Structures are given as C-alpha cells and as structure tokens.
Amino acid sequence: MRERSLQRWAFETPGIPDSLFVRDEEVPMTKEEVRAMVISKLRLREGQDVLDVGCGTGSVTVEMALVTGYAVGIDENEKAIELTKTNADNFKVNIKLIQGHAPDVMRDLDKFDRIFIGGGSDMLESILEESMMHLKEGGRIVLDAIQLETATRAISIMSTKMDVEVTQITISKGMRTKTGTAMLARNPVFIISGELK
C-alpha cells in the first residue's frame, strides 16, 4: 500500500502527505501544510538550480526536486543526511547532499535560482548573506521561522538587497472526538520570501 502511494506521488505534482516520508524523532520535518506554502513561495520551475539549507528529513528537498528535476541539500547532522537520501531514493528524485555546517559549506557552491533556508537560525545572518551572494539574477530565497525574532532578523537582512514578502500561517488540524471534529491549533509559522531587486 505504502509502496503504491510512493509510486503515485513520485510521478505527480508535489503535495506529498507527511506519512509517506521516512522519519526519525531526532530530526525535525517541515509539516505538509507549511511545506505547501514554502513550495508555492519558491515559485519553482523545471530546470532551476535549487538549494535546501538544513534539509532535515528531506521533505522540502524531495518536493523541490520533483518540480525542478534536481536539488542540493545541506545538513550538519549525519542522521538528517541519511534520512534525506532515503526519502529521495524512495521518491526516485535526483539530489546531491552535502554534510556540513552552513554557511561554511556553501562558499564553494555555484549560484542557485532558489534557496530555501529551513535550519540554522543561530547562523541566520551569515547564512542569509551567503545565500544572497549565491543567487542568480531574479533568484528567490524563502525561509520559515517559528520565532518572531528570527523572522524580524531575516526581514531586516533580506530587505537590504531584496523585495521581501512576509506571510504568517496558523494551521489547525481536525481531530475526531466522540461528538464531532475538534480543531487543534499549531504554532504560527512565518514564511519570509525575498526576490533580488
């Protein structure tokens, strides 16, 4: 059943259910509703060069590569690299993985059309500066943040060189109770998108 689902999603558009990714409790994953917004804000097209900084479980890396045909993922955690490889293999997408600390490992890379920053908030300033230097003309950066401080830091850095859009989403998921469906609210998430001026 799971194998059939993987095959189906591997050949269709993004919007993959979380349950189809192999996970590990030590490695966080961007949940599918947030991922859908991130993928939308990246404005992906086939053939673009794309980078996922802090690829974690690889859910965003996989969905990026499904559209573009190829994605590069970076993570400092060995377990995250293993998981991303497993998930990319399961969805039969073409990716390259780099284990290391951002922004250090970004310095030797070529330029990208799209960069998603899903990790590294302690190094946010330098990761964003390096990302803006690694963007092709018309390139976009998207990042997600839980904390207000991360969002405001990102907005002020990105605004120096980019047109910035700020989106905040709050997802609630329905839970069946004896009498109906109760909505359970999740944390608000900020999605900051920037395009080079």
30 binding ligand SAM? (CB under 6 A)? yes
Q: Does 195 bind ligand SAM (CB under 6 A)?
A: no
Task: Pick the stretch among 8-16, 72-80, 157-165, 179-187 that binds ligand SAM (CB under 6 A).
Answer: 72-80
Q: Does 56 bind ligand SAM (CB under 6 A)?
A: yes
Secondary structure element (H or E) that encloses residue 48, with its range: none
Contacts for 96 with CB less than 8 Å, ≥ 6 apart: 70, 71, 72, 73
Beta-carbon contacts of residue 108 (< 8 Å; ≥ 6 apart): none
Cα–Cα distance, 64 to 176 (Å, whole number): 32
Whether the CA torsion 121, 122, 125, 127 is positive or negative: it is negative
Using CB under 6 A as the binding rule, the residues of this chain from 74 to 103 that contact ligand SAM are 74-77, 80, 101-102
The footprint of ligand SAM on residues 100-119 (CB under 6 A) is 101-102, 118-119
Binding site for S-adenosyl-L-methionine: which residues? 30, 54-58, 75, 102
Binding residues for ligand SAM (CB under 6 A): 27-30, 54-60, 74-77, 80, 101-102, 118-120, 123
